[in-house]
Amino acid sequence: MTATEVTILDKTFVPYITEQEIADRVADMAAQINKDYEGRKPLLIAILNGSFIFAADLFRGLHIDAGISFVKLASYLGTSSTGKVVTAIGMDANITDRHIIIVEDIIDTGKTLHEFLPEIYGRNPASVSITTFLSKPSALQYDVKARYTAFDIENKFVVGYGLDYNGLGRNLPCLYILKDRSE
């Protein structure tokens, strides 16, 4: 085992994307959103728990008038999707006629957003876009498209920067990926 690996419960992870790479990409995304939403007052809706660190970093990079609200959805258990999306904390913000930017940690199969988007559209927002820290294009099973994606990654389980394995690893400052048994 090398010094940079981390073990969480029964699994070992190796470094995948550095803190600096993350900071640079998130700053770029914030700059793009500042440009695209200039003169508007978007409302970010961050999906808890996984997106809280990404949402905080992205939000601090916005210089336009923007608000933020949170919902808590869950569809994962361990390292695989349970296939069922549960709303643990619902939406309390009035989003009618607002420009909504959904903030997600990762689009994996796309099921979470596929199930959540009708709830958003049902409340008549002015517009909806999706920003995600990560996307696994080869795992996508639903027609969900992010307007802003920090990183496309391979179809393996990742932790860190807000993402967890069974509740642990969210505080790792960079992104780690599951180590192959053969490595």
- Strands 148-152 and 11-17, sheet pairing: unpaired
Of 64 and 139, which CB lies nearer to ligand XMP in the complex structure?
A: 139
CB of 16 to Mg ion, least distance (A): 18
Binding of ligand XMP by 57 (CB under 6 A): no
Binds ligand XMP by CB under 6 A, chosen from 12, 34, 81, 129: 81
Burial of 75 per CB tally in 10 Å (0-12, 13-18, 19+):
middle
Binding-site string for Mg ion from residue 46 to residue 85, where x marks contact by CB under 5 A and - marks none: ----x-----------------------------------
- Strands 99-107 and 43-48, sheet pairing: parallel
Pick the stretch among 1-9, 18-26, 60-68, 106-114 that binds ligand XMP (CB under 6 A): 106-114
Active-site residue identified among 10, 97, 108, 164: 108
Pick the stretch among 9-17, 89-97, 101-109, 122-130 that binds ligand XMP (CB under 6 A): 101-109
112: three-class secondary structure by DSSP: helix
> 141 with 110: CB under 8 angstroms?
yes
Whether 105 is catalytic: no
* Residue 163 interacting entry, from ligand XMP, Mg ion, none, C-beta within 5 to 8 Å by type: ligand XMP
Interatomic CA distance for residues 43 and 60, integer angstroms? 14
**Beta-carbon count within 10 A of 138 CB:** 9
Interatomic CA distance for residues 31 and 69, integer angstroms? 20
Pick the stretch among 9-17, 29-37, 89-97, 153-161 that binds ligand XMP (CB under 6 A): 153-161
CB of 89 to ligand XMP, least distance (A): 14
Interatomic CA distance for residues 72 and 90, integer angstroms? 7
Report how many residues bind ligand XMP under the rule CB under 6 A. Answer: 18
Ramachandran class of 167: left when φ > 0, alpha when ψ lies in -120 to 50, beta otherwise: left
List contacts with Mg ion (CB under 5 A): 50, 105
List contacts with ligand XMP (CB under 6 A): 50, 75-76, 81, 104-112, 157-159, 163-164
Catalytic positions are 108
